[in-house]
Amino acid sequence: MPLIAQILVAAGKGARIGGDVPKQYRILGGQTVIERTLAATLAGGQVDHSVIVIADGDTTAETLLAGPNVSFAIGGASRTASVKAGLRALRSLAPDYVLIHDAARPFVDRALIARVIDGLSTTDAAVPVLPIADAIKRYDGRIGRDIDRAELRAVQTPQGFRFAKILAAFDALPDDAETSDDIAVALDAGLSIADVTGDRHNIKLTYPEDFTRAELRLKDKTMTETTPRYFATGTGFDVHQFTAGDTMWLCGVPIAGDITLKGHSDADAGLHALTDAILGAICFGDIGDHFPPSDPKWKGAASDKFLIFAAEQVAIRGGRIEHVDVTLICERPKIKPHREAMRSRISEILSLPLTRVSVKATTTEKLGFTGRSEGLAAQAAATVSLPSESPS
């Protein structure tokens, strides 16, 4: 297990929010923003030590946040100087990884932190990113031409780094350097960078209206946590025929070989069965109702779209996916070498901890169509918790 530290950057004066109180000390749902952020980053038990970077003369932070495995460092004039101070404070601990996070992002969760940590297993740095939903246009006092959204990503924190590498990169910067974020420093230093899927809920509280949204979101969360709930289990089943090809998509993972699955979309029977299981749990029809094969739009479509749709339908109902279990029934391909990749892909798509995602496989002892390797079957179960309906 790597030793993981985090730096929460809270040295800013939060000028954009207005008022005298820096935004990390504003009250959100009865607690300061920074208390919420620290608690959220520690909830998953993934972080071993936290350094809070505070402004010189700030006496509030220690009163609010002191605890085991929490220490404090005094920030500098710029964000860059503050991060540098945080990194230097971790020198003696020398963690394997460091996650650098904005104190004003209190909605970070365990799944996002897990994706950043996973990203670091193969690279020097990992950054959560999201595609841009709004149209983006140039502006120089007047509306100009479009900027191609496909070339742009919104960047969030926590940004993760191999500690020794990012410390060296910051140490090499002049004291008055001002960089936009820590990934920019990593990029300039030539570190390898992975991007992982960000989280739309992980907003940075920047403008006064962000606080209004955040209060609403907290109210929603409290409602979800206090309303009586029931559990529902849905099941799904799917079959696709084998045909010649070089890549088979199964549970969101490409498997190279000499066969593939025949179908209108990418024919990922694993994700199709799972999508149907989730739709079953919320009694919302099946995959064919929502993505009819007659619609050319879904030709060759990546099946994670279908799964994301089903997960969104759960969220819209105030529900939560608790656990999923997929069984692949086939003689070939061999599933075992791909099983962990399949679990992580599903966990990523559904923002579900890996411990709640099961993928397994069986054969039919050479019997039937799967036994003759004419095709592959998948079955799935999904457990969802939902708010109890009020009696009508």
* Closest distance to Mg ion from the beta carbon of 268 (Å): 8
* Closest distance to Mg ion from the beta carbon of 30 (Å): 48
The one-letter amino acid code at 35 reads E
Residue 324 is encoded by which pair of tokens? 């999923």
Measured distance CA(312)–CA(325) in Å, rounded: 19
Measured distance CA(75)–CA(100) in Å, rounded: 14
Measured distance CA(40)–CA(173) in Å, rounded: 31
Helix residue ranges, H only, 128-257: 163-171, 182-188, 208-226
Q: Which of 102, 199, 238, 304 binds Mg ion (CB under 5 A)?
A: 238
> Per-residue b/e over 210-242, b at no fewer than 16 CB within 10 Å?
bbeebeebbeeeeeeeeeebeebebebebbbeb
Residue 190 is encoded by which pair of tokens? 């030539």
Residue 4 is encoded by which pair of tokens? 């993981």
Q: Decide whether 101 or 272 has the Cβ nearer to Mg ion.
A: 272
Q: Which of 272, 339, 343, 345 binds Mg ion (CB under 5 A)?
A: 272
Q: Which stretch binds Mg ion (CB under 5 A): 94-102, 199-207, 267-275, 355-363?
A: 267-275
Give the helix, strand, coil percentages of the chain, each rounded to 5. 35, 30, 35
Q: Which stretch binds Mg ion (CB under 5 A): 1-9, 237-245, 355-363, 366-374?
A: 237-245
The residue sitting closest to Mg ion, measured at its beta carbon, is 272
Q: Decide whether 197 or 235 has the Cβ nearer to Mg ion.
A: 235
Q: Decide whether 199 or 238 has the Cβ nearer to Mg ion.
A: 238
* Closest distance to Mg ion from the beta carbon of 314 (Å): 20
Q: Is 276 in the site for Mg ion (CB under 5 A)?
A: no
Measured distance CA(345)–CA(339) in Å, rounded: 10
Q: Decide whether 201 or 290 has the Cβ nearer to Mg ion.
A: 290
Contact predicate 278/234, CB 8 Å = yes
Q: Which of 119, 373, 369 is nearest to 258 (CA)?
A: 373
Q: Decide whether 31 or 241 has the Cβ nearer to Mg ion.
A: 241
* Closest distance to Mg ion from the beta carbon of 338 (Å): 19
Q: Decide whether 202 or 327 has the Cβ nearer to Mg ion.
A: 327
For the purposes of burial, counting CB atoms within 10 Å of the CB of 318, is it exposed (0-12), middle (13-18) or buried (19 or more)?
Answer: middle
* Closest distance to Mg ion from the beta carbon of 239 (Å): 7
Per-residue binding string, Mg ion, 196-235, x by CB under 5 A, is ----------------------------------------
* Closest distance to Mg ion from the beta carbon of 272 (Å): 4
* Closest distance to Mg ion from the beta carbon of 263 (Å): 6
Q: Which stretch binds Mg ion (CB under 5 A): 74-82, 265-273, 322-330, 374-382?
A: 265-273
Measured distance CA(160)–CA(196) in Å, rounded: 11
Q: Which residues bind Mg ion (CB under 5 A)?
A: 238, 272
